[in-house]
Amino acid sequence: MDFKRLKYFLAVAEELHFGRAANRLDIAQPPLSRQIAALEAELEVQLFDRSRSQIRLTQAGEVLQDHARQLLDRLDAAYRETKLVGSGASGRLRIAFVGSASHGVLPTLIKSYRSFYPEVELQLSAMNNAELQSALVSREVDIAVARPVLEDEEFRREPLCTEPLILALPDNSELGTRPEIRLADLADQTFVLYPRKPRPSYADKVLDICAREGFKPKATDLAQDFQSAISLVSVGVGIAVVPESVSRTQRPGVIYRPYIGYNPGTGLTVHARLDNRAPQVMHFLEVTRKFARKQ
C-alpha cells in the first residue's frame, strides 16, 4: 500500500471535504480524488459515502482511519529516531574503563558528553586493561578507557590526562605520621599489587619502580583489581602505589601520602576501533579532545 495515499486519505477523512483536504495537502483536487479512488479500488471497498452534500466515512473508512493514523505516526517516529541515531544525537554508546578511572576525571568527561548528547544511552562497565583490549577487538564495547594505554595498531587513541603516583596506606600505619616518605625506605613493607592476571600489568610497573629505587619488596599480595587492592590496604594487609586521583574519594581505613623517589606517573587514554566511525563514537572522541585540552 502506498503511504502517500494513506496520507491523502487521512486528510480527506479528517476534513470530510475534498477541497479543504486538497488545500491542506497543497495539491489540486482532481489528483486527490484520483488517489482516493485508486485506494478504494486497491482495497475493493468504499471508504467514503458521497451520496450526501457532505461526505462521510463508511465503516470500512473508519477502520482504515484508525490504522492509517497509527501507521503514519509510527512511520514518522521511525524517521525521527533513525535521523537522531544516524546523527549521533541518540542511540547507544558502550564505555568500559579501568576501575581506578572512576575516581578521577572520567566521571566529569562522561557528564560533559551527556550535556551535549543527553538522548544517547550509555552502558558503563569496569574492566582491566587485558579485558578492555579483548572487548574492543571483539566489538563488545565502543570506547575503552585504559591506564595508561592499549598498544594496538587497530585502535585510535585520545590522551585524557596524566597524574603522579602516590601511596595508599592503612590509616593506622606509622608511615602516615612521617613528614616525608622515601620509597627506597619501604623495602620491608608488604606491597599490594594489582591486577593478579594477566601479566605483565600495572603490578609489574610498580615492581619496576621499586627496582629503580634499588629494592624488591619483602612481600607482595596480589589483588585482581583496584577495588580489591584498596580494600586490602584498608584492613592493614599492606601498602599500594596508586594514581593520585583515587585520593579524591575517601575510603574508610585508608590514607594517602606522596612519596619521594622515582615517579613516572600514569595516565588515562581513550580508545576506539579505527573502523568504528559511528557518530556516537566520533562525538565522544571529539568531546574527549576538547576536555583534555582544558585539563
Cell of 64: 482504515
Arithmetic mean of pLDDT, 108-133 = 95
162, 266 Cβ separation under 8 angstroms: yes
Give the residue-averaged pLDDT of 53-61. 90
Give me 37's grid cell. 479512488
What would the mean pLDDT of 252-259 be, rounded to a whole number? 97
Residue 237: CA count within 13 A, CB half-sphere: 17
Domain boundaries, the chain: 3-87, 90-162+267-294, 165-264
Could you give the angle at which helices 3-15 and 18-25 cross, rounded to 10 degrees?
A: 130
Task: Find the range with the poorest average confidence among 49-53, 66-70, 117-121, 207-211.
Answer: 49-53
CA dist list (Å): 12 to 9, 35, 163: 5, 11, 68
- Side-chain half-sphere CA neighbours of 46 within 13 A: 8
Distance CA 176, CA 229 (A): 18
Contact 142, 93 (CB under 8 A): yes
Is residue 93 helix, strand or coil? strand
Residue 164 grid coordinates: 603522579
**Residues 19, 32: Cα–Cα separation, whole Å:** 9
**What superfamily does domain 90-162+267-294 belong to in CATH?**
Periplasmic binding protein-like II (3.40.190.10)
Non-local (6+) Cβ contacts of 230 within 8 A are 168, 240, 242, 246, 251, 254
Four-way CATH pick for 3-87: 3.10.450.50, 1.10.3720.10, 1.10.10.10, 3.40.1400.10: 1.10.10.10
Exposed, middle or buried, 54 (CB in 10 Å: 0-12/13-18/19+)?
exposed
CATH architecture of 165-264: 3-Layer(aba) Sandwich (3.40)
Q: Is the pLDDT assigned to residue 186 strictly greater than 90?
A: yes
Average pLDDT of span 170-197: 95
From the CB of residue 60, how many other CB atoms can be counted at a distance below 10 Å? 15
* Band of pLDDT at residue 275, cut at 50, 70 and 90: very high
Looking at per-residue confidence, does 53 or 236 come out higher?
A: 236
Q: Which set of grid coordinates corresponds to residue 75?
A: 512511520
On the question of pLDDT at 210 being above 90, the answer is yes
pTM: 0.74
Q: Where are the alpha helices (DSSP H) in the chain?
A: 3-15, 18-25, 29-43, 59-87, 106-116, 129-137, 202-212, 226-234, 279-294
Answer yes or no: same fold for 3-87 and 165-264.
no
Q: What pLDDT digit, counting tens, does each position of 213-247 carry?
A: 999 999 999 998 899 999 999 999 999 999 999 99
| Cβ 175 vs Cβ 292: under 8 Å | no
Predicted pLDDT of residue 254: 97
How does the average pLDDT of the chain come out, rounded?
Answer: 93
Alpha carbon 276 to chain centroid, angstroms: 14
